[in-house]
Amino acid sequence: MLIETRGNDGLRDAHIGLYEAILKPIASFNGLWSLDKIPYINIDDIKDLSYNDLTRYVFKILGADSSLLDEALMSYETFDNLNAPLEFSKLDDDLFLQKLYTGPTRAFKDMAMQPFGRILCNLAKQDSKKYLILTATSGDTGPATLEAIKNQPNIYAICMYPNNGTSDVQRLQMTTNDASNIKVLALNGDFDDAQSALKKLLNDSEFRDFLTKNNFSISATNSVNFGRIIFQIIYHIYSYTYLLRHNIIKSTESINIIVPSGNFGNALGAFYAKKMGVKINKIIIATNANSVLFDFIKTGKYNILNRKLLKTNSPAMDILKSSNMERVLFHLYGSSRTKELMENLDLHKTYEINSDELMELNTYFDAYVSSDDDVLSIIKEYAQKNVIIDPHTATALLAYKNSSKNDGRKNIIVSTAEWSKFAPTITKALHLDSINNDKDALHYISNKFALPIHKNIESLFNKNECNKTIINNDNISDVIKEWLKTIS
């Protein structure tokens, strides 16, 4: 069962099941749904399980209905490896790369979105209702969402992304999608603006009345939806068992997990895994110049007042208001304290935890911040070893080199995107400033390093950008209403 992070307002059930939370992701007082009780895992029971069997096991111990799970897991057949949707590579004796980008959009969001999308679509069919799915993306959630639900009956998607705030490939993955049940909006603003617009729409009574009159229900595929999070827990557990099965660690050893983080969903999955008993020493949060998470983990102060979002070469991490930190606060400090802190953030753009609370937070998390120049340098360093990494993975490698390398533990770096999503940044790291577009950069890197360009990426440049509407924050509701009228 799931429970509300900010307590119950008396207007809805205080506890709901996973599938109900998938369809209705916003909880009382604009909070989120999270686990009521976190079960403990006996590692001996799971260490030899396949990825799909581990997923079934996690659903079972969380008390989640698994009736739609078998079909959802079939979505992993679109990944590179039919038997496991993620891969691993060894970079050093104590360092392993967890490759989460073997799915159709070549980014880690596929790991959760593909099975979650199948469940969401099946729930919509069972309900015999039309569902409007709202998604705000910094670059990877959008493409993964659209890929998962395109051309599905009874389900329609609005995808908002920051105009000029993604890579060319990320943009094309959205704007070339010609499915009739999808509308892509390029917002004149940043990701925080898009995310705020989404939450505002979810809580806009006039907008919801319009949807009701036109027989639409509303949901979301961002990681505010716990249906996404449950699948993100699983690959962190699987990574630990992978190291066990391959005799890389002993059952008595703990590991560090290093996560390039923006909205904190990926790190939250590792947090739950640790709470469930997986031997994770620290979850190390790698940030870029938008270092709000670094500041919070180091000082206990979460402050976005008068802070401007900076555009960096790791754009999926260009986020100031990380939604999933709320779930961590809830599990560490309770619903009353979480409500107090989050209301301070909503009203005053800041909150602060006390020294005891910070000490507890630091038993789970450490953090490291890196600059754009640092990112370019480490991309070049690894390219010289014939290892091509994207700029988000680069921030995690920098965190490894500076914060965890000497503690004697094995480290897993969460690699969140294939190099093909950010090819111009890689060529820039190689001092090829004359290559400043994705298509030319892709072919240069492919030829130089003998790396194939995935067909889903290569084909983007032969498609028409048929699905792009540039809008301002103040007219999003009207644009969506007009579109829905044409499909009602």
Model-level pTM?
Answer: 0.93
Specify whether the CB–CB gap between 228 and 116 falls below 8 A.
Answer: yes
Specify whether the CB–CB gap between 164 and 309 falls below 8 A.
Answer: no
pLDDT value of residue 404: 57
pLDDT value of residue 99: 97
Distances (CA, A) of 119 to 73, 286, 327: 10, 31, 23
pLDDT value of residue 218: 84
For tokens 């008390």, the residue is 63
pLDDT value of residue 52: 96
For tokens 């207007």, the residue is 11
Domain boundaries, the chain: 43-99+227-418, 110-222+465-487
pLDDT value of residue 488: 66
pLDDT value of residue 126: 84
How big is the CA angle at 260 (ends 95 and 76), to the nearest 5 degrees? 80
Of 426, 425, 422, 313, the residue nearest 372 (C-alpha):
313
List per-block mean pLDDT (blocks of 10 residues) for the chain, which spans 488 residues: 95 91 88 95 95 96 90 94 91 96 95 92 84 87 92 91 89 95 92 82 85 87 88 97 96 96 93 97 96 97 93 90 95 98 96 98 97 97 96 96 80 96 95 88 96 96 93 86 86
pLDDT value of residue 197: 84
**In the CATH scheme, what is the code of domain 110-222+465-487?**
3.40.50.1100
Specify whether the CB–CB gap between 121 and 208 falls below 8 A.
Answer: no
94-130 residues labelled b (16+ CB within 10 A) or e (exposed): bbbbbbbbbbbbbbbbbbbbbbbbbbbbbbbeeeeeb
Give the Cα separation of 9 and 28 in Å (integer). Answer: 5
Give the Cα separation of 102 and 86 in Å (integer). Answer: 6
Give the Cα separation of 216 and 326 in Å (integer). Answer: 28
CA 208, chain centre distance (Å): 26
pLDDT value of residue 326: 97
Q: Is 43-99+227-418 a domain of CATH 3.40.50.1100?
A: yes
Give the Cα separation of 73 and 55 in Å (integer). Answer: 9
Distances (CA, A) of 341 to 26, 265, 352, 359: 18, 19, 7, 17
Q: Does 110-222+465-487 match 43-99+227-418 at the fold level?
A: yes
Specify whether the CB–CB gap between 44 and 13 falls below 8 A.
Answer: no
Residue type at 41 in one-letter notation = I
